[in-house]
């Protein structure tokens, strides 16, 4: 990279970081989630809006490779710090609840979205892609929102993050199945899907187990060497575990989360937390800026708005019901269960990847892809807002308890009415 191009890239990066922090502060003063402000800033100054305006023959803000690398680092750090909030013993206390919630959530979400898609008249292959794209939860959005609200150490936050990790693993398994079918024409069977899912969960648990027993010992001994060595080792553990997870065909985010959970048992935890908090100021806002930059407002205008509305409704209901009901059962608290359901609504990068696979392989048409992009963007934007409101409006939650108990009955009826209307226009 030529020096002048490199310097321009650094200037663009610094400008985005400034705009992100400024937008976060404005959102905070308006009593909105900071992450929502950063997402909006990414949308406004992204390539689809002001950032794409040509000034002197180049975009006002060029989203180059350097910005995307910083954003990926930010995503890894978000999951790493989420892991730092939870020891292995705490994980065990919510492990069964998180596992069951994550599995039920993915199965319920996938089946509901698939059935709705087929009822709208689309083929089963299109249904498979759409259901896969709308099954995964964006861990980073919920994790940062809970941290911003000061609720990262609550039981529901721990369930949300762990269940989202399970979601992530199962969604990647679904992606593997889809790629196998699309690229090789291999037959699909429930047994092969189940084997992939179980093997992925076992691999993640092994990474976590090995890390919990060895990483704290290494860090505690490293601290005695000298200043800065401990912090360097913590970063090495974070990204090294992320790479290991990637090699094992898991998400790097899952590996980073496991590394953080392992370090949470170390005597050096507070020093690592303090060090990582300073690094996050640079990388984490850029992750959400890039997520916001992927939002194209034209997608909301060019797509079938009724279709966007139906799939958004299904996307919200599938998570609130699929996650909220099993979580309510285990925690014996409908309000906590509802919060967990709200925290699982946001979709993210995996949804975009699966949708892109469907588009590039000719399974999805442009209008369906646009609809999926719009739905993913809406869920990313509304999750921080809904989570904050769920904590602020305790009185409202009490009134929602009665509604929530009947949600599983009312939701399908509303969807069926919308489906009948869409079928008449399809």
Complete domains list, the chain, with CATH: 3-72 (no CATH), 73-425 (1.20.1530.20)
- Helices 190-222, 155-184: inter-axial angle, 10-degree rounding: 130
Q: What is the pLDDT of residues 139-154, one digit of tens each?
A: 777 777 777 777 777 7
CA atoms within 13 A on the CB side of 220: 12
Q: Which residue has the tokens 């089946």?
A: 111
Highest mean pLDDT among 14-23, 182-191, 412-421: 14-23
Average pLDDT on 29-48 reads 80
For the whole model, what pTM was predicted?
A: 0.67
Do 139 and 161 meet the contact criterion of CB atoms below 8 Å apart?
yes
Residue 313 has what pLDDT?
A: 92
Nearest to 281 by CA among 87, 164, 144, 385: 144
More confident residue, 233 or 369: 233
Spell out the long-range contacts of 107-110 with Cβ–Cβ below 8 A and sequence spacing 24 or more: 107/322, 108/318, 108/321, 108/322, 109/134, 109/135, 109/315, 109/318, 109/319, 109/322, 110/135, 110/174
Residue 90 has what pLDDT?
A: 67
Do 319 and 110 meet the contact criterion of CB atoms below 8 Å apart?
no
Q: What is the pLDDT of residues 399-424, one digit of tens each?
A: 555 555 555 555 556 656 666 666 66
Buried b (16+ CB within 10 A) or exposed e, 11-43: ebbeebbebbbebbeebeeeebbbbbbbbbbbb
* Token pair belonging to 251: 């998400």
Q: What is the pLDDT of residues 218-252, one digit of tens each?
A: 887 887 777 678 888 889 988 998 888 888 777 78
* Token pair belonging to 388: 């904050």
Average pLDDT on 51-58 reads 79
């Amino acid at each position: 990279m030529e020096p002048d191009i490199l310097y321009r890239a650094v200037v663009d990066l610094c400008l985005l970081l400034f705009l992100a922090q400024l937008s976060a502060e404005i959102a905070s003063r308006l009593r909105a989630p900071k992450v929502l402000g950063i997402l909006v800033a990414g949308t406004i100054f992204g390539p689809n809006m002001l950032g794409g305006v040509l000034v002197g023959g180049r975009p006002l803000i060029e989203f180059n490779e350097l910005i995307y690398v910083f954003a990926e680092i930010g995503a890894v750090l978000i999951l790493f710090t989420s892991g730092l909030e939870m020891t292995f013993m705490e994980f065990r206390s919510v492990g069964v609840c998180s596992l069951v919630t994550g599995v039920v959530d993915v199965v319920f979400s996938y089946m509901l979205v698939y059935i709705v898609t087929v009822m709208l008249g689309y083929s089963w292959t299109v249904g498979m892609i759409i259901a896969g794209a709308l099954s995964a939860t964006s861990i980073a959005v919920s994790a940062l929102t809970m941290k911003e609200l000061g609720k990262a150490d609550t039981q529901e936050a721990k369930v949300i993050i762990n269940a989202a990790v399970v979601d992530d693993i199962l969604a990647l398994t679904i992606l593997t199945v889809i790629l196998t079918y699309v690229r090789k024409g291999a037959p699909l069977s429930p047994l092969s899907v189940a084997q992939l899912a179980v093997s992925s969960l076992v691999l993640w648990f092994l990474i976590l187990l090995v890390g919990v027993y060895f990483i704290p010992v290494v860090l505690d001994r490293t601290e005695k060497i000298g200043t800065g060595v401990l912090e360097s080792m913590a970063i090495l553990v974070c990204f090294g575990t992320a790479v290991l997870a990637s090699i094992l065909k898991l998400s790097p985010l899952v590996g980073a989360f496991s590394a953080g959970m392992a370090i949470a048992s170390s005597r050096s935890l507070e020093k690592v937390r303090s060090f990582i908090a300073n690094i996050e100021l640079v990388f984490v806002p850029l992750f959400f800026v890039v997520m916001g930059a992927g939002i194209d407002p034209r997608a909301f205008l060019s797509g079938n708005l009724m279709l966007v509305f139906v799939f958004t409704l299904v996307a919200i209901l599938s998570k609130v019901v699929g996650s909220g009901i099993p979580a309510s059962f285990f925690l014996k608290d409908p309000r906590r269960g509802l919060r967990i359901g709200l925290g699982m609504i946001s979709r993210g990068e995996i949804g975009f990847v699966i949708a892109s696979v469907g588009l590039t392989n000719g399974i999805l048409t442009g209008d369906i892809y646009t609809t999926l992009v719009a739905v993913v963007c809406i869920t990313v934007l509304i999750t921080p807002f809904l989570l904050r409101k769920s904590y602020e409006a305790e009185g409202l939650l009490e009134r929602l308890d009665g509604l929530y108990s009947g949600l599983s009955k009312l939701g399908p009826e509303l969807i069926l009415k919308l489906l009948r209307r869409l079928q008449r226009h399809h």
